[in-house]
Amino acid sequence: MQLLIDGVCKTDALLASESRVLKFLRCVPNNIGMTAISDPKVQRYRGANPMDWGLSGFVLIAESHISVHTFPDRNHINIDVFSCKEFNVEKVVEYAVRLFSIDVVTTNVLERGLEYIDGE
């Protein structure tokens, strides 16, 4: 299954924090029983428009991944948690809301991955 979280945040400071994004990428796999197979990686980028800067982070988890993209000057964050198995969606959303101080959160859950392959 794949959980997509789109958030509007109260403050831009947390969205500009590399350590905060790293913490999310490190803690979520443990919290929902997934095993990271790569070190979390976070990079800063700057777009053509000066407002379009932020952090992009990801970690590989067996046949799945977690990604985070932040836009501090726009107070926005996009998170994907893609896993081969079911996980506690509420737990991940609550953790994201708390860690990044998300004020307005939109979530989508897609049925996708090994557990939805025909015959399995």
**Torsion, Cα of 94, 97, 101, 103 (10° steps):** -120
- For the chain, the C-alpha Rg in angstroms (whole number) is 14
Q: Is 84 a catalytic residue?
A: yes
**Catalytic annotation, pick one of 64, 65, 83, 101:** 64
The region of 9-17, 26-34, 90-98, 112-120 touching a copy of itself under the rule CB under 8 A is: 112-120
Binding residue for a copy of itself, selected from 27, 82, 89, 99, defined by CB under 8 A: 82
Determine how β-strand 64-71 pairs with β-strand 102-110: unpaired
Pairing of strands 2-9, 102-110: antiparallel
Least Å from the CB of residue 77 to a copy of itself: 10
Cα dihedral 16, 20, 70, 7 in deg (nearest 10): -120
Decide whether 7 or 101 has the Cβ nearer to a copy of itself. 7
When binding is defined by CB under 8 A, the residue of 24, 71, 87, 100 that contacts a copy of itself is 71
Instruction: Point out the residues that are catalytic.
Output: 64, 69, 84
